[in-house]
Structure 1
């Protein structure tokens, strides 16, 4: 008999096909807000479940998970939507999807850097509104990234991939981490241990921090003040790491030149403070949103589930 697997959202077709073939799969196909009650009810008799970062399972929800469930997979690298301590106390294995989304997310960070620097969002809105007055030598001037310094906050797999891309644009790359990486992982990027020195060096700051209390509003007014006048801020990590009021104020005042944001603290809501600003590019959490990457994420999640159910410890085991 195939093990039961409950899947909370619609996934790429190849992933759903594999799930249907290998498991007694239940597809909830939830849209919009996560219905925890419906999800928990669909776990009856299941050995595994696959959720997404939009599906929050706190300690109370995990306490209601049936004893049959052995493994919980998340369609993400981050696990801040899962109470890992509660899962551990239940003996519930948790697997995630590392590595396979690093390039796509770095690619999106680079997209935001370019769009913010070259005022692409503003220009696209002008064209759609039929408000383009025509070409002139000084119209809608942006800034080139060539020769600029990219500061990467959080030099994990995504940050390392972005560093390689940025060097292809003739950018200098510096990074700030809890600790310095081995030279073979730095790829020519320079480590700056002092936070203030790191911030003041960056023409573009790209944030790749995890969520949680330790990084809440890391980019606050005091740190923004240390950035160069005209600097660009990009965030493809977690929306909670930025103080939105402080960032919007710096964009409105002109201290910061532009920003590109793919993540927000209470998605799908976008902070109102950004909506009236022309110098911020806003995207709906597209970091890993390529067909190739999302399919690979689903396959890796299923790999982890199968390994746990076979009594093995997969490489993507979180807890």
Structure 2
């Protein structure tokens, strides 16, 4: 491995702001990002990456490679919750195993956004259709997780409406915003897109840094609650994403030769959802413990991916 890449990523200002957030919690500082501001920044990041992706997609011609990438993304989001569920079921109840499996099968839009910044550092270009691939990978894992819970649960109280689950997977705010922005960016012509470019492009990295500061504060607070579950959640939250990312980084050569596409596909496979899945599970499976899967995805997997994971997957590819 080229450790210069790791060192370069560790000194990235956005990542250092994430570390600052964790340090603030450890020092019991009153530093915090107001909830309304945090929500606005989240919406901004999803809007910007979707709109920019739509613009890129408008210049692309739909090819067999793009279709294969979309199919590969859906396959990844179906396979990961299936195999991880049976690993998790050995240590946790069915509800927690299904919720965690769904989280690791789904994707993190924030990790995706951070990965696009990493691509820019390597002088690589994000293809707009990869935004569509990410959006397609959000919902299948949620449905698979809920179906596994329904099948393996022995309690009669665990009944949920498949229709409401499917609706929530599609109308979830983060999914809807990034898909809607993708469509709007696709429809806008170059002149119209140029008018809002200072907002969608120039401010992006600054907002990303502030958002990661907020994520650091949130991670630091949630990390404490995870220690009560022993070593297994930590081992799972570190090893499984790295395994998924490395495996897809290598296997992706059979789908595409483009380094950028392979890197994004691997980071999507390695990432875990801490927005869409928890929201879906709160509605459909209230028996699942958010004090378990939220810290695993946000406080362990997210920092592992943006520190060690990204340079590792990149090195496997190149």
Q: TM-score, length-normalised on structure 2?
A: 0.26
Which has the greater radius of gyration?
1
Between Structure 1 and Structure 2, the one with more strand by share is 1
Q: TM-score, length-normalised on structure 1?
A: 0.26
Q: Higher relative CO (CA 8 A, sep ≥ 6), structure 1 or 2?
A: 2
Between Structure 1 and Structure 2, the one with more helix by share is 2
